[in-house]
Amino acid sequence: MLQTVKRYIERNNLLKPGGKVVVGLSGGADSTVLLSVLCRLGYDCLAAHGNFHLRAEESGRDERFSSEFAASLRVPFFRRDFDTRTVAKESGVSIEMAARNLRYGWFEELRENENAAAIAVAHHRDDSVETLLLNLIRGTGIRGLTGIKPRNGQLIRPLLCVSKANILQYAQTEKLPFVDDSSNLLPEFTRNKIRLQVIPLLKTLNPSINEALLQMMYNLNEAARIYEAEIEEKKKTVYNKESGRIHIPLLKTFPSPETLLFELLKDFGFGKEVILDIHKAIDSQSGKTFYSGTHRLVKDRDAFLLTSHEDEKEKGKIYLIQSGETGVINLPFQMEITCTDEFTVQSREHIACLDKDKLRFPLLLRKWEPGDKFIPLGMKGFQKLSDFFTNRKISKPQKERIWALLSGEDIVWVVNYRIDDRFKIDLHTKNAYILRIL
């Protein structure tokens, strides 16, 4: 196994001989074997253990074991505590995603502080197979079928060349201790369900299913290299970086304009659903506008015009409100934001009481535009903002100073006038997002 991992590291240029590397050490079989192998291969290792306090006594046990194991190998040991549940709640993400973000954020901080060349984590071949099946279930493009990569920036995976069985065999042969994570046996986690139920079922149809899927991933990786090279060439043809123009007549000459749009616009934060709408707008009238968290795309006569929100901010047109933003923030006006699970609905035009769980962040604040529509609070159907203003006898100078707050492409509040009925607080609301103009 040592030589297999050594050749894999060299072939993929993961580490230079004797290089300094931060090793993620959870205490499980995979990470203890990874640390042992890298030490025996002569790399300068640092062990990093994050305690996420998610499994009561097990969390403390894992930390103690990891500290003792690192000491047995004479490896410097670093640890950090995380309040994972609080971070997940405040960030509006799952606990699993919060733990992942905290882990990798700290690993990178440690790598920089210790001047290490890379961060090594213990993903192996079976993890790559599980990732393939997970992506198939969720729906994916060609990249999602190519498995886990040996390198992602400074993050490396030296054990992708070996299986879980190889790892356990090595641990047994070398008499390496490790601890078991009981959460790996809980079938409510999708990845665990794939490992514990789906793969065993597939093995009844093909006992060599792992090897078959690994070969398929290799074939798709080769195909993806050709695909990506062609896409990069086409992107240069259709998109002018300096002007931000995507040339529609050229775009339409390609076999799949939708695919090319996706590959071009995903780098600017546009999601698949929005890109599908952009593709449908290729032959529509000028003026249709689409937003991502970082950019705006406007349909012109023969082009899509792409600009960043930073450019728009300089013109005083675009502002973003992040999901964790609370307190007083300075926009074209001062706004106080409160997120709470204890609330009283206030019916005031300068206050918006919204259901946070109905919102998609970041929220976007911009001047209202012709064609904008929303469902005014208390109404059932859409109304154009121009008609809403006319009914209220709002003058043209007043209209020019009116802002709209958007969640995705939906207006949630015509600021200082009315919220959208779809985003109001109701009997099912658990978290209120209250915005007040000061």
* Structure tokens given for 325: 């933003």
Mean pLDDT of 292-310: 82
- Residue 47 to residues 61, 339, 409, Cα–Cα distance (Å): 16, 38, 45
CATH of residue 131? 3.40.50.620
| Claim to verify: residue 142 and residue 164 sit in the same structural domain | yes
- Predicted confidence at residue 30, as pLDDT, reads 93
Distance (Å, whole) CA 334 – CA 342: 23
Helix (H/G/I), strand (E/B), else coil: 329: strand
| Claim to verify: residue 280 and residue 334 sit in the same structural domain | no
Residue 218 lies in a domain: no
pLDDT tens-place string over residues 355-414: 999 999 888 888 898 899 999 998 989 999 999 999 988 877 688 789 999 999 899 999
Mean pLDDT of 300-323: 73
Distance (Å, whole) CA 376 – CA 410: 12
| Claim to verify: residue 157 and residue 206 sit in the same structural domain | yes
CATH of residue 367? 3.50.40.10
| Claim to verify: residue 307 and residue 324 sit in the same structural domain | no
| Claim to verify: residue 112 and residue 246 sit in the same structural domain | no
Distance (Å, whole) CA 155 – CA 118: 6
Distance (Å, whole) CA 47 – CA 24: 6
* Structure tokens given for 145: 């079928």
**DSSP at 102:** H
- Quickly state the pLDDT bin for 119 (edges 50, 70, 90): very high
| Claim to verify: residue 197 and residue 87 sit in the same structural domain | yes
Domain termination residue (choose one: 311, 336, 362): 311
**DSSP at 28:** S
- Predicted confidence at residue 174, as pLDDT, reads 92
pLDDT tens-place string over residues 79-99: 988 888 887 777 777 777 888
| Claim to verify: residue 7 and residue 25 sit in the same structural domain | yes
- Quickly state the pLDDT bin for 326 (edges 50, 70, 90): confident
Torsion of CA 189, 108, 170, 196, to 10 degrees: 10
- Predicted confidence at residue 91, as pLDDT, reads 74
- Residue 300 to residues 109, 242, 271, 290, 304, Cα–Cα distance (Å): 44, 17, 21, 12, 6
Paired strand residues for 338: 434
Distance (Å, whole) CA 293 – CA 287: 19
| Claim to verify: residue 91 and residue 193 sit in the same structural domain | yes
Estimate to the nearest angstrom the gap between the alpha carbon of 344 and the chain centroid: 33
Side-chain-side CA neighbours of 294 within 13 Å: the count stands at 7
Residue 105 lies in a domain: yes
Residue 162 lies in a domain: yes
pLDDT tens-place string over residues 22-81: 999 999 999 999 999 999 999 999 999 988 787 777 888 888 999 999 999 999 999 988
Paired strand residues for 405: 365, 413
- Predicted confidence at residue 182, as pLDDT, reads 62
The residue that leads in pLDDT, 216 or 53, is 216
Paired strand residues for 49: 79
Residue 58 lies in a domain: yes
Contacts of 430 (CB under 8 A, 6+ apart): 341, 357
Residue 235 lies in a domain: no
- Predicted confidence at residue 200, as pLDDT, reads 92
Domain count within the chain: 3
With DSSP H G I counted as helix, E B as strand and the rest as coil, what are the percentages for the chain, rounded to 5?
A: 45, 20, 35
Domain termination residue (choose one: 311, 330, 349): 311
Closest CA to 69 of 21, 113, 99, 28: 28
Range of the domain at 402: 318-437
Contacts of 420 (CB under 8 A, 6+ apart): 374, 375, 376, 377, 410, 411, 412, 413
Estimate to the nearest angstrom the gap between the alpha carbon of 147 and the chain centroid: 17
Distance (Å, whole) CA 206 – CA 203: 5
- Predicted confidence at residue 143, as pLDDT, reads 82
| Claim to verify: residue 139 and residue 277 sit in the same structural domain | no
Residue 126 lies in a domain: yes
Domain termination residue (choose one: 311, 336, 356): 311
Residue 396 lies in a domain: yes
Closest CA to 170 of 11, 25, 7, 36: 36
Residue 174 dihedral angles phi and psi, to the nearest 5°: -85, 0
Distance (Å, whole) CA 84 – CA 95: 7
- Quickly state the pLDDT bin for 251 (edges 50, 70, 90): very high
The residue that leads in pLDDT, 341 or 148, is 148
Please work out, in degrees rounded to the nearest 5, the angle formed at the alpha carbon of residue 157 by the alpha carbons of 57 and 55: 10
* Structure tokens given for 39: 């030490």
| Claim to verify: residue 207 and residue 281 sit in the same structural domain | no
| Claim to verify: residue 84 and residue 69 sit in the same structural domain | yes
Q: Are 262 and 288 in contact (CB under 8 A)?
A: no
Distance (Å, whole) CA 65 – CA 71: 10
| Claim to verify: residue 163 and residue 287 sit in the same structural domain | no
Residue 230 lies in a domain: no
Mean pLDDT of 249-272: 90
